[in-house]
Amino acid sequence: MEETWRWFGPGDAVQLNHIRQTGARGIVTSLHQIPYGVVWSVEEIEKRKALLAADPSLGLSWSVVESLPVHEKIRRGDPDCAELFENYRISLRNLAACGVKVVCYNFMPVLDWTRTELAHPLPGGGTALRFNMHQYVGFDVFMLERPGAADGLPPELLARAKAWVDSASAEQKEKLLASIMAGLPGAYDRYDIPGLRAILAEYGQMTHADLQANLKRFLQEVIPAAEEAGVRLCMHPDDPPRPLFGLPRIVSREQDIADFLAMVDSPANGLTLCTGSLGAGPQNDLPAITRRFADRIHFAHLRNVAKEADGSFMEADHLGGDVDMVAVVEALLSEQKRRQEQGRADWRIPFRPDHGHELLDDVGKPTHPGYPAIGRMKGLAELRGVMVALAQVKGLPL
């Protein structure tokens, strides 16, 4: 598998020479400086490629776009999206013309990945990302005061959430809001509570079926252009895989994946396998999902989570959580072998070690939440070991 590394551009505290030291050669990056819905020009794409190639001794190349964002108006299903669809198509063509042909994106409305703690303490002084269900409920029910937010929730969870809100200081509440808003680095909108209420109101009473219809419209608009350009789009699953703040999420479980892949049945319409995002859902069997959709997996995020009964979860060691990572990796290597035997030039699946604990000298450094250097390098080394062992024992191609 192709070892890649997420890099957030020139402002990233993890520099390109640091990435080379991890062993990764493929770069996963995005033009975060370009507002959502605006065309990615060939000039801007080539500028990013030139940064990666500035020191040829590093041997780095742009392997995957993560991400080419989908504008909120498209997710919301607004009628006046023709220009946004055309801009997306132009961006795909420009990326392909520059040799970048794997494009990750997501269809999570308003917020992207969501956590309630960005630096949960670990034994020895490290930190991890964490989602505490009682803090999420406390925010949704008692701070955001969203109508209907408490419906159907267990009384003991509501009581714990209320106790947290009542005891939390103003600073703790602000920190919770900032954690929830952290989302995808590069996102332009960060909401205060009134702002979040306003953007949620724009979605009205959107249902799961409504959001699916909006996704199908998007895919029907852009997949033909991706096919023509030789681009493989790959949807990132919901994180966490459950509705948030009254909004549906539609890439949270195995059936959701089957549904969106069937909307436009094309190799250009694929999946980013994120073992952590899907792994946070107790309903998801990651090895089975990997095997079922192997031929449509164009990119993989490999990380692990430890789940709790109330819906809380924490980022775990890459080989130490609830996901059977060895079985997932074996399924991916088996798919690589199938592609290689078909004679495909692009048979290797790019993957990156996703999220990592903040460890050692990285503690306190201004890295993006979840993206310190040492924790991810530790994960990459562990995953590399699994891959080499499976390749030798099972005769699978690396």
The model's pLDDT over 335-389, given as tens digits with 9 standing for 90+, comes to 999 999 999 999 999 999 999 999 999 999 999 999 999 999 999 999 999 999 9
Question: Can you give the pLDDT at residue 204?
Answer: 87
Give me the chain's average pLDDT, please.
Answer: 96
pLDDT tens track for 73-115 = 999 999 999 999 999 999 999 999 999 999 999 999 998 899 9
pLDDT at 79: 95
Structure tokens at 238: 């919901």
Q: Strand order of the sheet with strand 304-307?
A: 117-121, 127-131, 313-316, 304-307
Q: Where do the domains of the chain lie, and which CATH numbers do they carry?
A: 2-114+201-394 (3.20.20.150)
32-72 tens-digit pLDDT: 999 999 999 999 999 999 999 999 999 999 999 999 999 99
Q: Tell me what pLDDT residue 185 has.
A: 56
pLDDT (tens digit per residue) in 127-162: 999 999 999 999 999 999 999 999 999 999 999 999
Q: Which two tokens stand for residue 260?
A: 């969106």
Return the SS3 of 111: coil
Tens-place pLDDT, residues 254-300: 999 999 999 999 999 999 999 999 999 999 999 999 999 999 999 99
Residues 6+ apart with CB under 8 A from 201: none
What does the buried/exposed string (b/e) look like for 42-70 if buried means 16 or more CB atoms within 10 Å of the residue's CB?
Answer: eebbeebbebbeeeeebebebbbbbbbbb
Q: Is the pTM here over 0.85, yes or no?
A: yes
Higher per-residue confidence, 188 vs 328: 328
Cα torsion at 207, 210, 215, 220 (round to 10°)?
170
Would you name the residues annotated as active-site residues? 236, 274, 301, 354-355, 371
3: which strand partners?
A: 351
Closest listed residue to residue 98, CA positions, set 34, 29, 35? 29
> Residue 184: pLDDT band by 50, 70, 90 thresholds?
low
Backbone dihedral angles phi then psi of residue 66, each to the nearest 5 degrees? -145, 100
Asked if residues 270 and 232 have their Cβ atoms less than 8 Å apart, the reply is yes
